Amino acid sequence: MELSIKVKLSTKSKEYNIPEYSLTGDLLSFLTCNLQYRYQNKGFLPPSRPLQLWFGEFVHGVMEEAYTVWTLKKTQFPWDWLKDIRPIEEKIDQRMQARGLYPPNPKYFTPYNCVGESDEDPSKRIISTRIENSINLWGKHLFPLMDSAEVLIKGLRKMPLKDVINRRSDFYCVNGVIDVISSLKINSSISKDNLIVDYLKEENFYKKNHINSEKEYEIIIDYKGMKRPQYDSNHLEHRSTWNYHQWQILTYSWLRCRQANSRPIISGIIFYLNELLPSNEDLLVIKRDVESNKTDVEISKEDRELIEDWDGTEKNFPELSDSFKLDRSIRIIEINDEKVKKALREFDNVVNDIEKSTLNEGIGTSIKNSWKADGDNRTCDACDFKNFCNKYRNEHSQFFTVP
């Protein structure tokens, strides 16, 4: 007699991946231009001239290293570029080169000498002057307040695609790296004569946030290697770089307050480091913002005249005041529950748009029809994909038509 035994073998469950989105690398990048994001991030095509990428990494690396040096040696400010700052620049550049990240234009950006320059008298590039200003103007106020640098934050959110049946996952993960977390006790001695604390006071900040002067609070700080974005008081609800940066800080605060060692977060600060030494191109855009009143920063009569009278040439580049540069380079971002909720909703919508485009492409829609080409003029001019982008080709048809 045969005995048959039925054994049910369990099958391996389907792999379950939760899509992970970086706040800057994915969400802000998608908002800059959907199609460029698709080619660069999902197509794994690195930009050929990654100036922003290189500058951003370099600035973050130098500022972090400068903070470490300051905590060890307590070197008095101002730091001397050749003696104190250049060795840090070289160290970071070498570290980046070991990872294959080379300065995009050595003539202007490498902290090393060009051929023919002596080691004793290296010439200083624009990037080095910006770094020097960042350390000597802001570092001296920021370092004493700093608690930690490069803090990784992560969190899960519900996938917003409610109406789509074949969504990839029920959740998505959002991550980011906070450049600096500062701790602040209003009455402590380090808060006295501190320019950053003075800027917070100017905003009437403590009153608005009902701050207890004995408690310790946190401030989230982010450096950006760019000019201050345009501020348009008539279109504050619109999608704009101004708002994107605010949403980024507010989302950081949501993620940070979920970490066990966090304290109440009262503010975010962004430092726009190009404002400390704008390039000619930066200043042309600043001039446009000032003349069309698309700026939130009050400007002195003298600085306004200098900007309005400037003919736009490098030769006549105006000597603007330090207060103009400082006021424009610091942006204080108020953090409260309502604003945080709004920022999270906005980023949920961005994830929704990315997921929809990804799913569209997955069912056979062409890349160009799945991802919107919507970069602004400055982004398009620097874009590696403009030669085969329909939007760019249509707007610059004179360059693409064969006579």
Chain residues in the site for ligand SF4 (CB under 6 A): 33, 35-36, 373-375, 379-380, 383, 385-386, 389, 391-392
Determine the Cα angle at 140 with ends 138 and 141, to 5°: 70
Cβ distance to ligand SF4 smaller for residue 342 or 391:
391
CB 238 within 8 A of CB 324: no
Sign of CA pseudo-dihedral 83, 85, 88, 94: negative
Cβ distance to ligand SF4 smaller for residue 71 or 379:
379
Cβ distance to ligand SF4 smaller for residue 40 or 110:
40
Q: Minimum CB separation from ligand SF4 for residue 387, in Å? A: 9
Q: Minimum CB separation from ligand SF4 for residue 168, in Å? A: 24
Cβ distance to ligand SF4 smaller for residue 31 or 269:
31
d(CA 276, CA 380): 25
Q: Which residues contact 193 (CB under 8 A, 6 or more apart)?
A: none
d(CA 28, CA 21): 10
Q: Which two tokens stand for residue 61?
A: 């690396």
Judging by beta carbons within 10 Å of its beta carbon (0-12, 13-18, 19+), is residue 111 exposed, middle or buried?
buried
Q: Minimum CB separation from ligand SF4 for residue 76, in Å? A: 45
Q: Minimum CB separation from ligand SF4 for residue 121, in Å? A: 41
Q: Minimum CB separation from ligand SF4 for residue 230, in Å? A: 18
Rg (CA), the chain: 24
Q: Minimum CB separation from ligand SF4 for residue 43, in Å? A: 12
Q: Minimum CB separation from ligand SF4 for residue 79, in Å? A: 38
Cβ distance to ligand SF4 smaller for residue 43 or 87:
43
Q: Minimum CB separation from ligand SF4 for residue 325, in Å? A: 29
Determine the Cα angle at 222 with ends 219 and 226, to 5°: 150
Cβ distance to ligand SF4 smaller for residue 31 or 249:
31
Cβ distance to ligand SF4 smaller for residue 180 or 389:
389
Q: Which two tokens stand for residue 351?
A: 């994830």
Q: Minimum CB separation from ligand SF4 for residue 316, in Å? A: 31
Strand partners, 265: 218
* Chain mean position to CA 85: 23
Cβ distance to ligand SF4 smaller for residue 296 or 384:
384
CB 220 within 8 A of CB 268: yes
Angle between helices 51-73 and 126-133 (to 10 degrees): 40
Whole-angstrom CA distances from 322 to 277, 296, 329 are: 10, 17, 10
Cβ distance to ligand SF4 smaller for residue 37 or 138:
37
Q: Minimum CB separation from ligand SF4 for residue 47, in Å? A: 11
Residue among 182, 175, 191 nearest 148 (CA) = 182
Q: Which two tokens stand for residue 314?
A: 């490098």
Name the phi and psi angles at 64, rounded to 5: -65, -45
d(CA 322, CA 113): 29
d(CA 219, CA 97): 32
Q: Which residues contact 100 (CB under 8 A, 6 or more apart)?
A: none
Cβ distance to ligand SF4 smaller for residue 228 or 386:
386
Cβ distance to ligand SF4 smaller for residue 36 or 274:
36
Residue-by-residue DSSP string for 107-132: HHH-SSPPTT--SSSPPPPHHHHHHH
Q: Minimum CB separation from ligand SF4 for residue 353, in Å? A: 15
Nearest residue to ligand SF4 on Cβ basis: 375
